Amino acid sequence: MSYRQARYDEPLIFEMEGENDFCLMNDDEVNVPEGMVRKELCLPEVPEMEVVRHYVNLSQMNFGVDNGMYPLGSCTMKYNPKYADKLSSLPEVTSVHPCQDEDSIQGALCLMRELEKALCAISMMDAVTLQPAAGAQGEFTGMLIAKAYHADRGQTRTEVIVPDSAHGTNPASAAMAGYTVIEVPSGQDGCVDLEALEAALSERTAAVMVTNPNTLGLFEKDIVRMAEMVHAAGALLYYDGANLNAIMGTTSPGTMDFDIVHFNLHKTFATPHGGGGPGAGPVGVKKFLEPYLPVPRIVSDEGRYRLDYERTDSIGKVRSMFGNFAVLVRAYAYIIAQGGDGLKETSQRAVLNSNYLKSKVVAAYDMPFAQLRKHEFVVSARRLAKEKGVHATDVAKALLDRGFMSPTVYFPSLVEEALMIEPTESESKDTLDRYAQALLDIAAGDPADIKASPRYTSVSRVDEVYAAKELILSWRIYQRKAGLK
């Protein structure tokens, strides 16, 4: 066994043996569904040093933004400055409890109120709720707000229009809120086809969800016209703000006449994103929709902050307590540290890096919709697939062996063999050059060699569908499940 293999053969903590292993038994009646109750939890009693080595080894079997470039399109996997982590780890943040008396959490309420104001200024919206825990939950909140608004006006609108380039959460959120999803195709230029939009709009349309720049990295050039069309039909215009990284300080959803927007604090505003960790998906609205925002609202009376639950038109609560507070602290710290000019420069650099990298890789990859991009771009491995049998997946796996995370692949689905690359503003020119070189080397490489990747990761290729459905965490567990041992 090589050194690398040995390091990758880290057992699970449950598989380790200590001197005084012990089990915690749960004899109490607990109010959770049958089958979800853990009757016992057995842990090995291993020395501190073993525990430290165990988790450090596990962390090295993974790849993260602190290991290397991670240009996962649409996900904005940028470097998150450590000062934001440090501030969110202060005892004033970690020890505060949401059930404390308002008088004892004035600082926390002040921070949240100030963050709301900052997000209003960035988006040019009038009011913000910080409650939703993710982008998708922000979308769902936005859809409930649209529903409450139309109901108030005595209208039953049953449809939500979503472009075919949208993130999968858009149609899912609309459907969860009870709407029928109408998909509109993109035109030749990769932007929403206005004729198709016109044909889809009707008195049944509750909202149109738009991502701008869209997931191809293209700015919807007809957005002003689109907003007019949507509003003329009596519908609301929803902005998927996961990609706000592209436009801060240059334009905003409010300027483009959007009515509702969600932000992904864990993409744009310095929270490590991925691994299912906590996020935050605040929602901003124009003044006329403010009454529908979730309760409680943070209000200030003569310098004292309090929580207002007395909002008769509110859609209610969408999440327990006030949201993911530590994530809000990180975002606030980041916004304050950057300042308005810093945020603008962040977006400008994100766009510059994306176009720079694009210009280096177009020699070997097809470029559908060949205009200037915003924070991300999509190329196609179509030619490689046809000529050499090397698919987008193979390119992704070969990148892992070269020390880089792969881009997002096979999304958006309107591009065949899509590689969706978002370098983010935080990468240096040198790193971008090395990434581009890796992509060019892979395109020029021996197909058999590329298809044998990855060779140097903790696991090689897995059956992704099976792996998602059947959690097998180690080869020992696999052996047991397969009856081999």
Ligand X SMILES: *Cc1c(COP(=O)(O)O)cnc(C)c1O
Which of 245, 264, 406, 426 is the binder for ligand X (CB under 6 A)?
264
Which of 88, 131, 211, 268 is the binder for ligand X (CB under 6 A)?
211
Minimum distance from residue 273 beta carbon to ligand X (Å): 8
Nearest CB to ligand X, comparing residues 305 and 369: 369
- How many residues touch ligand X (CB under 6 A)? 15
Nearest CB to ligand X, comparing residues 243 and 453: 243
**Per-residue mark of binding to ligand X, 140-169 (x: CB under 6 A):** ---------------------------x-x
Nearest CB to ligand X, comparing residues 115 and 242: 242
Minimum distance from residue 476 beta carbon to ligand X (Å): 32
Minimum distance from residue 134 beta carbon to ligand X (Å): 4
Which of 171, 213, 279, 323 is the binder for ligand X (CB under 6 A)?
279
The rounded distance, in Å, linking the Cα atoms of 238 and 139 is: 9
Nearest CB to ligand X, comparing residues 44 and 412: 412
The rounded distance, in Å, linking the Cα atoms of 456 and 64 is: 16
CB atoms within 10 A of CB 262: 32
Nearest CB to ligand X, comparing residues 211 and 346: 211
Query: Which span sits near ligand X by CB under 6 A: 96-104, 132-140, 192-200, 471-479?
Result: 132-140
Q: Are 360 and 404 in contact (CB under 8 A)?
A: no
**Per-residue mark of binding to ligand X, 65-84 (x: CB under 6 A):** ---------xx---------
Minimum distance from residue 211 beta carbon to ligand X (Å): 5
In 3D space, the residue among 126, 170, 139, 140 whose CA is nearest the CA of residue 289 turns out to be: 126
Q: Which of residues 236-255 bind ligand X (CB under 6 A)?
A: 240, 242-243
In 3D space, the residue among 192, 221, 219, 195 whose CA is nearest the CA of residue 208 turns out to be: 192
Which of 136, 235, 421, 438 is the binder for ligand X (CB under 6 A)?
136
Minimum distance from residue 242 beta carbon to ligand X (Å): 3
In 3D space, the residue among 417, 406, 341 whose CA is nearest the CA of residue 379 turns out to be: 417
Nearest CB to ligand X, comparing residues 374 and 391: 374
Minimum distance from residue 454 beta carbon to ligand X (Å): 25
Query: Which span sits near ligand X by CB under 6 A: 129-137, 182-190, 335-343, 415-423?
Result: 129-137
Nearest CB to ligand X, comparing residues 121 and 172: 172
Minimum distance from residue 412 beta carbon to ligand X (Å): 10
Nearest CB to ligand X, comparing residues 305 and 322: 322
Nearest CB to ligand X, comparing residues 176 and 362: 176
Write down the residue that tokens 């792969």 correspond to: 406
Nearest CB to ligand X, comparing residues 213 and 291: 213
Query: Which span sits near ligand X by CB under 6 A: 130-138, 202-210, 375-383, 425-433?
Result: 130-138
Minimum distance from residue 167 beta carbon to ligand X (Å): 3
Residue at shortest CB range from ligand X: 135
Contacting positions for ligand X (CB under 6 A)? 74-75, 134-136, 167, 169, 211, 215, 240, 242-243, 264, 279, 281
